[in-house]
Amino acid sequence: MKQRVLACLLAAALLLTLSPAVSAAAYADVPADHWAAAEIDAATSAGLFEGVSEDAFGLGRTINRAQFVTALCRLFGWEMESGEAHTFTDCPSDAWYYAAVETAYQNGALPTYSTTFRPYDAITREEMASMLVRALGYSTLAGQLSEEELPYGDVTSNRGYIAIASDLGIFSGYDDGTFRPRGLATREQAAAVMVRLYTRLQSESISLSSTGGYTVLSVETPEPSAETAVPATPLDPLPELYAALKSCRDSGADLGQVVVVLKEGGVATTTRGSSILSSEAISQSEVEGYLRRSGVETYTHSQYACDYLTYTSGNTQTTVWYQSEENVAEKLELCRLFGVTHYCMEPLA
């Protein structure tokens, strides 16, 4: 989680310092009134894309998987891998795309179940959506959303990834209600989806001291259950936050006037065997007190994007769920991807 948040911060610094490259106006094959002219201009100016020649963007041409992964690495500002891991049998170490493919793999943008990458195959819309969502670190969330109802009747695989790409507004379907997952993506389509994501990643989260005048969005902390080995009381669990953001957007709310309230502090639950002895909200300073104790074990839960610790004393165990800076950063990033930039921290105790 920390690596992904850091990568996005590095991407912001990198892309903001890039000097303007070629503009769409300089491409002879991009009409000024073309639907993707502005996106092509933004993508090339940010250094995400290059033309196929000095005066041609390659409008209407498909983009292959190696080319897309190269642009993906530029988008996230990942440090390029230089070793010879040979993750994929069809990506020789002397290929121009080798470092980009390995870098994307090491950063979680590519699935781990295949030994081939197919670098020169034209990328499909489904593959493009999957890579972008994986690169954002939402593979676990995509798995949880795999059974969600989609507005597209032609999506049968990678449903969770396509759901997220659609919910975040990175992708849109066609007027006939289809997504066309196996349709081959063109260079301008790839530029458009990357610019949409780039724009959201470059936005800033604005901290507020109060929620007055804003529509408040918050997520309840779940109650502990004796039926689980570790009482799960994550603060602002990521799946629930995602659902709340989506519901807020679908309701037609002005997202510029929405403030998300995140919790600080923690929930300490003490158990003996399978019995819960107590559970209470604690302050941030109390959380820090637990973290300083010897014998404390700390964990990060990727599903909830929340940390927790366990502390054993005699025959009792205390579990404390709390938010690290990385947890908060990941949740604020999700809010920005939905278009919500205002937030407020609220003490639990």
Q: How many CA atoms lie less than 13 Å away from 21 in the CB half-sphere?
A: 21
What contacts 306, CB < 8 A, 6 or more positions away? 234, 235, 236, 237, 238, 300, 321, 322, 323, 327
Closest CA to 27 of 19, 16, 39: 39
- Given this model, what pLDDT does residue 23 score? 52
3-state secondary structure at position 347: strand
- Given this model, what pLDDT does residue 18 score? 37
- Given this model, what pLDDT does residue 7 score? 45
Ramachandran region, residue 339 (left: φ > 0; alpha: ψ -120 to 50; beta: rest): left
Alpha-carbon dihedral sign for residues 262, 208, 242, 302: negative
Sort strands 275-282 and 297-301 into parallel, antiparallel or unpaired: unpaired
What contacts 161, CB < 8 A, 6 or more positions away? 126, 129, 130, 133, 134, 138, 142
pTM, 2 dp: 0.88
Amino acid letter, 84: E
Q: What share of the chain is helix, strand, coil (3-state, %, to 5)?
A: 35, 20, 45
- Given this model, what pLDDT does residue 86 score? 86
Q: How far apart are CA 170 and CA 134, in angstroms?
A: 13
- Given this model, what pLDDT does residue 17 score? 34
Mean pLDDT by 10 residues, the chain (349 residues): 44 39 71 94 91 93 97 95 87 95 96 94 97 96 92 94 95 94 96 94 94 96 88 96 96 96 97 94 97 96 96 95 97 97 96
